[in-house]
Amino acid sequence: MIERDKRALARRRAARAGASALLLLACSTGTNSVEMERPAEYEASSYPRSTDELGSGGSSATAATPTTAGQPASTPGALAPYKEWTFAFYLAAETSDGALGERYVQWLEQRYAELEPFANVIVLLDIGGPTQLLQIRSDADMFRIRSEIDAPQGTALAELFRASDVHELTLSTPRVLEAFLDLAQSRYPSKYFALTVLDHGEAWNGAVYDETAIETPEIPVGPMSLSDFADVFSSLARPIDVLAFDACLMQELTTHSWWFETSGKVRYVVGSEQENYGWNFDKVMRQFDGLWRSDGGLSPQRLATSFVGQTNEGEWSSNVTESAVDLARWQDVVDSLDTLGARLLEAGGINDPTVKAIVEQRVTRPYGGLIDATQRRTHEDLVDAVELCELIEQSFPADTALPRAASALRSALGKAVIANSAQRPEGHSVEDDPNPAAEVSHGLSLHLPKTDAPSLLANDAYAKKLGRVRELFPHWIAFLDTI
């Protein structure tokens, strides 16, 4: 087990012991109801509220008839009315931070009055013990927020729950993710769909861990491979408009090529290039609500960009660099990366002294989660993609093939990354808006192995994990094979 996972497991066990005391907020998770003051303006919602409590047996109700022109009149089997958005949360926090998983639900419950006019909210929560399926919703008569529901009869998720003696699912397996997303898309109708994944992330190696059993928490299962994620996304009836990873390192160039490979089943991706310690989802939802009100609706692009920069409070708040990526612009990134690989091969690959010096300088430079402006935590074999391009441009004669290829990739990355928390607002100086992460991140990292023997083994594992996306940039892979 890698060292940060050992630390995370220790944090999770401590969180289990003290979560109730540490996270005692105005509302609670599970089957409890929370009295909520509802501002008057929310009563005139253009989207009808569902009054179905879904309290026993997971019985479904026919969706209410929307009042907005152009929306479906009804959706057979729906558990909630048609709305502009459905937000699905896959909170696999059992091996990372159960306290953060609980806090996510508390934030959703507390802010539901703002979300209700335009969003359905469905959650799969796993923080140790029985896995919970939650539908954040209001009791229209009692003005309460209610959460836990049974999986509806006849769904794949209900079958998975039924097969578990302890009602606990293994969220690191694709069948659980697929069953949850199928339920969220088929029973919670909406114009747009967003998925947020909470857990460990390891870039090209995958994301999401779980435990084999409650009695043996030291044995994690995972991560789920990117090919499994991509297969699940490809199987869905409709696209994921925004895919958000509250997980470390997931903004990596070859990682996103898996989502691009799903042929439009993922449109925008949000995450952190560096190590990430969680979004403050209360801040994120305030962004959602503010944009929805100001724009009269919330487009997928606006929703994706509203995640960026909304980190948790505390010492790590300036140490991550979230970005939002538009996969409609990804073909140029893929083509430019492959062209860069071809030009590097023409130069002799790693056998060229200048190329070798660039590789060694990039992969030995401290990179990853930042502690302060002078002290940095390294993460081997991941480099900032734009910085790599800039170094190539500076190291070879101008207007020759190799720096031109690096410049083209840098330009393509700049167009694909539509928001980046490392970019200070216009007119803000370092003194006004200190963020040491801005000095080492442009929103996307790239796998680049060291030249020592252990890294060569890691590169071999990387090549195997790439699977079918290798076909997108064969010259780049051939260049890596020279290292």
339 or 214, higher pLDDT: 339
Output the pLDDT for position 23. 27
Give the CA-trace dihedral at 65, 66, 69, 73, to 10 degrees: -30
Q: Please, where are the H alpha helices in 47-173?
A: 98-110, 112-115, 156-162
Q: What is the pLDDT of residues 17-46, one digit of tens each?
A: 333 332 222 222 333 333 333 333 323 233
- Lookup result for tokens 């039924």: 162
Residues whose CB is less than 8 angstroms from the CB of residue 98 and which lie 6 or more positions away in sequence, other chains included = 12, 15, 16, 19, 127, 128
**Are 134 and 148 within 8 A, CB to CB?**
yes
pLDDT above 80: residue 317: no
pLDDT above 80: residue 135: yes
pLDDT above 50: residue 3: no
For the segment(s) 3-36+81-328, the CATH number from 3.30.930.10, 3.30.300.130, 3.40.50.11970, 3.40.50.2300 is: 3.40.50.11970
8 or 285, higher pLDDT: 285
Which secondary-structure segment (H or E) carries 191? strand 190-198
Q: What is the pLDDT of residues 4-17, one digit of tens each?
A: 333 443 443 343 33
φ/ψ of 25, rounded to 5, equals -110, -170
Output the pLDDT for position 31. 33
Cβ neighbours of 310 (radius 10 Å)? 18
How far is C-alpha 191 from the chain's CA centre? 20
Q: What is the pLDDT of residues 343-353, one digit of tens each?
A: 999 999 999 99
Q: What is the mean pLDDT of the chain?
A: 76
* Exposure b/e, 407-418, CB count within 10 A at least 16 = b: bbbbebbeebbb
Output the pLDDT for position 51. 31
pLDDT above 90: residue 296: no
Reference 202, options 244, 245, 248, 170; nearest CA is: 248
Q: How far is CA 467 from CA 185, 462, 474, in A?
A: 28, 9, 12
Domain segments of the chain as ranges: 3-36+81-328, 330-425+432-480
pLDDT above 90: residue 224: yes
φ/ψ of 348, rounded to 5, equals 110, 5
375 or 332, higher pLDDT: 332
